[in-house]
Structure 1
Amino acid sequence: MADLKQTALYDLHRDLDAKMVSFANYSMPLHYANGIIAEHRHCRSHAGFFDISHMGQCLITVDDAATALEKLLPSIIGTLPSGKQRYTVLTNHEGGIIDDIIVSRLDQDYMLVVNAGCKDKDYAHLQQHLGRHFRSRPDQALFALQGPAAQQVMQQLAPSACRLKFMQLCRTSIHDIPCLISRSGYTGEDGFEISVANESALELAKLILSFEPVQPIGLGARDSLRLEAGLSLYGHELDESISPVEAGLSWVIDKQKRQFLGADIIHRQLQQGAPRKRVGLLIEGKIPVREHSEIHNDSGQKVGYVTSGGFSPTLKQPIALALIDRRFDQQSCYALVRNRQISMRVTTLPFVPHHYHRG
């Protein structure tokens, strides 16, 4: 993996006995010594530390940044107050999703966090439309502290960050290290994401990990945590052929907004219905139903496919997310796994309740 990119914490991950894997052209920890399920459960019960520095951070710096950026998004961000965030998507001309992103208002500027696997194409897209007003921030690392003990730990590091509500952010310092901290995350738990300069990343990571409730968490548990929380993953529930309506993200679309890429197609789907819909599935038995598995109705007709599937340590059973035909209105269906019919039941999302701090 010598040709892969490394985050500022690469050596720390190795020191912590992480199993390193290739992900989005980075060498990243899949799990540490205790394994994925133990890490998953620790985050649900205590606090997990995630290195997510492979994700992209960039700034939009222009006098009328909102107007320029809104041409690329179905959401309104011009009314976003300073210190608040919004989840949204970048769309293409066909109404598909280029990426799902977080937009943060920083006074007159906007900070974007984009997915690691989409970073290059996102940056090219933003550069094309925003020119010199777009600036990437490869000098910044990004961490997540997630779980019911996250506030207890943050109270000792940066008390001002504990006054934030879900999807708010502030500038502060931790032991004289300047940070940008948001109350957000990708696990369904309460928690924080911390943007910090690469040069201070190792010092801050070691400080956070020194707290007894905190353990390092790898990509494996990050995926199972987000799946239980019913959160989409780019390349699975989201891609350039899937619209935000199909992906269950109609709530990010401003119903009056017409000037963005793919607007006609997306608004038509809002009014008339999209061809497909995202659903959650509870799997009967112990055999997981993996990505790309075909879904059939009781008559044997194919009605969709699994986009993400795995074992839920919290529910102690396999679960899945899927895209299915919008006309499918039954509760029961099945997937074919190694020529076996695996019974499944459509369920509401999330699989495990969210615990965001909304105040």
Structure 2
Amino acid sequence: MSVPAVETAPLLNTPLYDLHLRLGARMVPFAGYAMPVQYPAGLLKEHLHTRAAAGLFDVSHMGQVALRAADVTEAARALEALVPADILGLKPGRQRYGLLTDARGGILDDLMVANLGDRLVLVVNAANKAADLAHLRAGLPDSVAVEELPRALLALQGPGAEAALARLAPEVAAMRFMDARVFDILGAACLVTRSGYTGEDGFEISTPEDAAAPIAEALLADPAVLPIGLGARDSLRLEAGLCLHGSDIDTTTSPVEAGLGWAISPARRRGGARPGGFPGAERILAEMEAGPARRRVGLLPEGRVPVRAGAALFAEGGETAIGHVTSGGFGPSLGAPVAMGYLPAGLAASGTRVFAEVRGQRLAAAVAPLPFVPAGFKRG
């Protein structure tokens, strides 16, 4: 008897797909898209170049969503029923990191929220955007329109990012970390935020789809800018101690366990102006006061062998796993392996020695503070 073929949805292409091929990218499936994992320079050089100069990333697979209401305050107040951030206090021209939580205090997704004065613009993770859109539409009142934006998204990251982008839009030089502005770039209206996912200074640039390639090519014409793939994007965010949803955070982790308590705005905490009122508030606020049972930690494995996601963690001499690694690999900036994972709160202090199981062997690792590489954000 023949086995019926399994039908899979064809991969989607970003507006920069043809440019990736011209640049020699190795393309891989990621979140339903064909995405560049690396270019001919290779992951190591791409990573180090971003830390030293500027790297250009295609992140057009991410979801971009506009929330519109009669007044932006109405949209902000409504969104606060779904995220534990102070959206009402978010001033026009500013952006804030937030979390979509569920009734048990787990993390449905992490996202960015920008206030453009007449609307809110959200950036959500690629793998979650369909679920996030459904969640927003179900959880927000009819007076708030939820619109998926058909736009491309570029990330220009590294200490040379400001100079490179300022050649096309001089106004960006005045922006500081988490500012959000709309600028004309090569004749296209682009939303620029001073933010990113590498720990470096940089920008995310939301463009009309037909403007993405010309803007990318203009940026790449600068000798300080190299195209960077998903491989280096992952190693950069790991060194920066940044969470990847689906690995380091998900519906089984709370914001406090994940070390993201800082994203719970003071206004939404007990004693604040608008305490609670978001899904999972009871658990999350209780953990903020009493502490969680486990914590996300940085790990520095001894030796040169990387410890990958999924590796079980053990106390010295222990036979029962006490935690697990959620992200791990080689840190090019450190020249050594790095990892993140969860441990009981009592074993989460820096310097604590634990053991990761790798191919049947126990490899020692020390709990280390995050980030592994200091952030280079322009705050002033």
**Is TM more than 0.5 here?**
yes
Aligned to 2:343: 324
Q: 1:30 aligns with which of 37, 59, 67?
A: 37
Match of 1:70 in 2: 80
Which residue number corresponds to residue 3 of structure 2?
A: none
Counterpart AA for 1:278: R
Residues 102, 112 of structure 1: 8 Å contact kept: yes
**Structure 2: how far apart are the matches of 1:199 and 1:139?**
10
Q: Displaced runs of 4+ in structure 1, greater than 4 A? A: none
Structure 1 pair 134/276, CA: closer, same or farther in 2 (3 Å)? farther
Which residue identity is paired with 1:158? A
CA distance in 2, matches of 1:271, 1:184: 30
Corresponding residue number in structure 2 for 1:108 = 118
Query: Residue 12 of structure 1: SS of its match in structure 2?
Result: helix
Number of matched pairs: 359
* Matches of 2:235 and 2:277, distance apart in 1: 36
**1:267 matched to 2:288:** no
The answer to whether structure 1 residue 302 and structure 2 residue 321 are counterparts is yes
Is 1:276 the counterpart of 2:306 in the alignment?
Answer: no
Equivalent residue of 2:90, what SS?
coil
Distance 2:356 2:160 in 1: 38
- State the partner residue of 2:173: 162
List per-residue Cα deviations over 1:69-106 (Å, max 9, x = no partner): 00001111101110000001000001000100000001
Contact 2:136 2:146 in 1 (8 A): no
Shift of 1:155: 1.9
8 Å contact 2:348–2:367 — kept in the other structure?
no
Contact 2:295–2:348 under 8 Å retained in 1: no
* 1:151 lines up with 2:162 in the alignment: yes
- Identify if the C-alpha distance between structure 1 residues 46 and 275 changes in structure 2 by more than 3 Å, giving closer, same or farther: same
Find 1:172's aligned residue among 173, 183, 189.
Answer: 183
Give the TM-score normalised by the residue count of structure 2. Answer: 0.92
* Structure 1 CA distance for aligned equivalents of residues 56 and 134 of structure 2: 31
Which of 218, 227, 231 aligns to 1:216? It is 227
CA distance in 2, matches of 1:183, 1:100: 18
In structure 2, the gaps of 5 or more residues are 1-7
Q: How big is the shift at 1:258?
A: 1.1
- Single out whichever of 329-338 and 349-358 deviates more from structure 2: 329-338
Identity of aligned residues (%): 46
**Cα RMSD (Å):** 1.3
Contact 1:58 1:134 in 2 (8 A): no
8 A Cα contact 2:297 2:348, kept in partner:
no
Per-residue CA deviations over 1:290-343 (Å, capped at 9, x if unaligned) read 101000011314221000000000110000000111122561111111111111
Separation in 2, partners of 1:113, 1:247: 20
Q: Which amino acid aligns with 2:155?
A: A
Cα separation, 2, equivalents of 1:310 and 1:30: 15
CA distance in 1 between partners of 2:141 and 2:25 (Å): 39
Q: Is residue 276–residue 326 contact of structure 1 (8 Å, CA) maintained in 2?
A: yes
